[in-house]
Structure 1
Amino acid sequence: MFEKISLSGVDNTGWLRLRKSGIGGSDAGAICGVNPFSNAMKVFKDKTSEEIEEQDNEAIRIGHDLEDYVAQRFTEATGLKVRKSNFMYRSTEHPFMIADVDRLVVGEDAGLECKTASAYNADKWADGDIPLHYVMQCYHYMAVTGKKVWYIAAVILGREFTYRKLEWDDELIERLISIEDNFWNNHVVKGIIPPPDGSKVCDEVIQQYFHTARKASAIKLVGFDEKLRRREEILGFISELQEEQKQIEQEVKLFMQDNELASSEHFRVSWKNIDSTKLDAKRIKEEKPELYADYGKVSHSRRFEVKVA
C-alpha cells in the first residue's frame, strides 16, 4: 500500500525537498553499489544535509525534454497507452521508500520508466541488457507501488529505440527493501556515516562531521597496522608510476622542442604557452597589512599525515 502526495503546484525546489524525505528510485542503485555515477555516501550526504542542490546540465535537460517522446515511442511500439501521474508515492509499510514515476500504463498493473542514452552507451542496452542501476530503479518503483510489472524504454540518441519488461521478483524486492531499510534507519536517521568508499564525497562528509580536532587529544590506534602498511605500498607504487609518467612526458617534450602541437594517428598533444597573473600575498601582507587584513580569508581544515614509527 502507498499514500499519494500531490505534486500540483510544487516547484522544482519543493520537489527536491520532498525527495530528501526518503529514498527514491534513482537512489536505489547508488545504495546497492551498482550506479557508476553515484554511491551510498553521496545519497547519505544529500539526505542528511539542508542544502538543496539544483542539478541542471545538458544530459538532464535532454532526458527531461525527450521524456514525452520516449513515452510516445513506447506506445507506438507496444500499443499500450500511458499517462502521467502528478503524484509522489510513499510506501505505508516502509515510509522511507518514495517513488516519482515517469508514467503509469493504462489498463495494466504496470509503470514505465523513460530513458535517453548516448550512442556511446549503446552496448549497455545490447542483447536485452539494462544498466543495473536502472533495473534497481524499476524494482524500487514496484516495491513502492505494488505494481507487478515495470517497463523501461530508451532512445539511444541517433541509433534506435528499445524497451524492456521487468516482472515482480519476490527475492530481489525483499533484498532491495532490506538494503534500503538498513541504509535509511541505521545511517540516515541516526546520522551514522556509511562505510568509507574512497570517494571524494566521503572526504567531504567526514570533514563535515569531524571538522575540528580537540587540541592535544589522542587515542590508541588499534586494528589499522596492516591497512597502513598497504597504504605505504600503494604510495610507493604511485611514486614509481608518477616518475614513469613524468619520464614519458619529458621524452615527448624533448621531441616537440618549441612546437606547440604534435599529433599521431591515435593522440593529439599540446604544449602551449600560458600567461597567468597571481597576487603576491606575502608582499601585500608586508607592504599593505591593512588591505591584507580586510581581504584576507581564514580557512579551517585538518591535515591528515601518517609516519612510519
Structure 2
Amino acid sequence: MAVILASTEDMDYREWLDWRKKGIGGSDASIVCGINRYKSPVELWMEKTNQLPYQEAGEAAYWGTQLESLVRTEFAKRTGIAVKQVEQLLQSKEHPFMLANLDGECIHPTYGKCIFEAKTASAYKTGEWDDAIPDAYVLQVQHYMAVTGYRGAYIAVLIGGNTFRWKFIERDEEIISMLIQLEGDFWEHVQTMTPPAIDGSAAAAKFLSDQFPNSLPKSEIKLPDSAASLIEQYEAASENIHQYTEQKQEAENKLKQMIGDHEIGTVGERVITWKSMSSERLDSKTLKAEHPILYKKYANKTSYRRFSIKADI
C-alpha cells in the first residue's frame, strides 16, 4: 500500500518541511477537513505552494519531538508491546498525494501490524482525552492507515508532564473514503495553483492583499446578490466586536485593580502578569516638523487598500 519516499534519519527540520510539500501529511488532514483550530485550508495551501516564508518549529512542536522517544518507551513499558521506530517518509501507492511520517509501528494481537503515534498535551487539555481522542488526531491516524493499509493504531499521550494514557483506534473505511476525497480535491488546488474557498483566516487576508494589491481608480463592479448576506454578516460581527471588546476590557481592568502594585497575580493554575515595560520610539511628527528634509530622506512610503461598507447615498 505504501512506498518509501525518503529516509528521515538525520534529516534536518527544513529539509523535512520541503519533503512535506510534495503531498498531504497526517497532521494536514484536520486542516484540509476544516476542523483545525490553529491553521486554515488557505494557509496550508499557501505553504504547499511556497507562498509563506519558512517558519521555525514552535515550542510545543519542539518539545513534542523531544519527548516522542520517552512516550514510545513508556508505552512499551506499560503495555508490554514493543514499538519499532520508523524513520521513513511513506507515500500511498494508490493516492500519491497522501504521505505518512509514522512515529512507530507495533503489533496488535488481533489486527497485526499497526501504527503507533506519540503525543504530548498541556494539562489544560486533560478533558479532551477523558473518554475520547481529539478529532484532529483521529483524522491523523486514519490518514496514516489509508497510506499504509494497516487496520489499527495506538495513540499514547503524556498530559501535563505527569499523566500518561493510551488508546487504540480501529480502521474506519468511511472516514478514510472522506479523507481521500477531500485531500484529493485539496491537492488539485495545489497542483493548479488555485486557492481553496476563502475563509476568515489571516492567511486568506494576506493572499487577497498580495493578489489584488492596487485598485483601479474610479472602477466599479456590480456584485452578485450573495454579497448582501455577506454584508449582513460583516455588520453583525462588527456590532459584536464592540460588545466583546468592552467585556474583555472590563475583565482586564478589574484584574489590574486586584493586582495593584504587584507584578504577578495567581488564581488556581493561572498566572496573570502586569509588568512594567519600557521602549524607545521615533517621534516622527516632531522629526517631520523640525527636520523635514531628513524626514523625507528616510521616510518609507507604504500603500494598502482600505476596506469599508457604507450606505449608498
Q: Distance in 1 between matches of 2:248 and 2:163?
A: 41
Q: Which residue of 1 aligns with 2:76?
A: 75
Q: Distance in 2 between matches of 1:169 and 1:270?
A: 46
- Amino acid across the alignment from 1:194: P
**Which secondary structure state, in structure 1, belongs to the residue aligned with residue 192 of structure 2?**
coil
Q: Which residue of 2 aligns with 1:231?
A: 234
Q: Distance in 2 between matches of 1:142 and 1:135?
A: 11
Change (3 A) 1:260 1:188: same
Does the CA-based 8 Å contact 1:16-1:52 persist in structure 2? no
Q: Distance in 2 between matches of 1:134 and 1:117?
A: 12
**Which secondary structure state, in structure 2, belongs to the residue aligned with residue 82 of structure 1?**
coil
CA deviations 1:269-290 (Å, max 9, x no partner) are: 9888766543232342344344
CA deviations 1:233-278 (Å, max 9, x no partner) are: 33334345556766x489969x96xx64698989999888766543
Q: Which residue of 1 aligns with 2:103?
A: 102
C-alpha RMSD of the superposition: 3.1
Q: Which residue of 2 aligns with 1:193?
A: 195
Q: Which residue of 2 aligns with 1:156?
A: 159
**Which secondary structure state, in structure 2, belongs to the residue aligned with residue 189 of structure 1?**
helix
Q: 1:291 aligns with which of 280, 283, 294?
A: 294
- Amino acid across the alignment from 1:238: I
CA deviations 1:131-165 (Å, max 9, x no partner) are: 11011000011111111111111111343211111
Q: Which residue of 2 aligns with 1:112?
A: 116
Q: Distance in 2 between matches of 1:249 and 1:63?
A: 33
Q: Distance in 2 between matches of 1:251 and 1:131?
A: 35
Does the CA-based 8 Å contact 1:116-1:155 persist in structure 2? yes
CA deviations 1:191-237 (Å, max 9, x no partner) are: 22222322222212222222232333321122212321342333334
Change (3 A) 1:241 1:120: closer
**Which secondary structure state, in structure 2, belongs to the residue aligned with residue 285 of structure 1?**
helix
Q: Distance in 2 between matches of 1:81 and 1:97?
A: 27
Q: 1:216 aligns with which of 212, 215, 218?
A: 218
Does the CA-based 8 Å contact 1:2-1:89 persist in structure 2? yes
Does the CA-based 8 Å contact 1:84-1:103 persist in structure 2? yes
Change (3 A) 1:116 1:271: closer
For residue 183 of structure 1, report the CA deviation from its aligned partner.
1.2
* Superposition TM-score, scaled by structure 2 size: 0.84
Corresponding pairs, count: 303
Q: Distance in 2 between matches of 1:117 and 1:249?
A: 28
Q: Distance in 2 between matches of 1:272 and 1:290?
A: 39
Q: Distance in 2 between matches of 1:250 and 1:98?
A: 45
- Amino acid across the alignment from 1:205: F
Q: Distance in 1 between matches of 2:52 and 2:253?
A: 47
Q: 2:126 aligns with which of 118, 122, 129?
A: 122
Q: Which residue of 1 aligns with 2:21?
A: 20
Does the CA-based 8 Å contact 2:100-2:144 persist in structure 1? yes
Does the CA-based 8 Å contact 2:46-2:52 persist in structure 1? no
Change (3 A) 1:239 1:74: closer
Does the CA-based 8 Å contact 2:151-2:170 persist in structure 1? yes
CA deviations 1:95-152 (Å, max 9, x no partner) are: 111111111125832110100112211111112x101101100001111111111111
Q: Which residue of 2 aligns with 1:279?
A: 282
- Amino acid across the alignment from 1:124: E
* Superposition TM-score, scaled by structure 1 size: 0.85
**Which secondary structure state, in structure 1, belongs to the residue aligned with residue 229 of structure 2?**
helix
Q: Distance in 2 between matches of 1:44 and 1:194?
A: 7
Q: Which moved more, 1:297-306 or 1:147-156?
A: 297-306
Q: Which moved more, 1:28-37 or 1:274-283?
A: 274-283
- Structure 2 unaligned spans of 5+: none
Q: Which moved more, 1:130-139 or 1:33-42?
A: 33-42
Q: Distance in 2 between matches of 1:9 and 1:242?
A: 48
Mapping for residues 243-282 of structure 1, pairs under 5 Å: 248=250, 260=261, 277-282=280-285
CA deviations 1:42-94 (Å, max 9, x no partner) are: 21121122545233333222211111111111112222211122210111221
Q: Distance in 1 between matches of 2:29 and 2:252?
A: 46
Instruction: Give me the identity figure in percent.
Output: 34
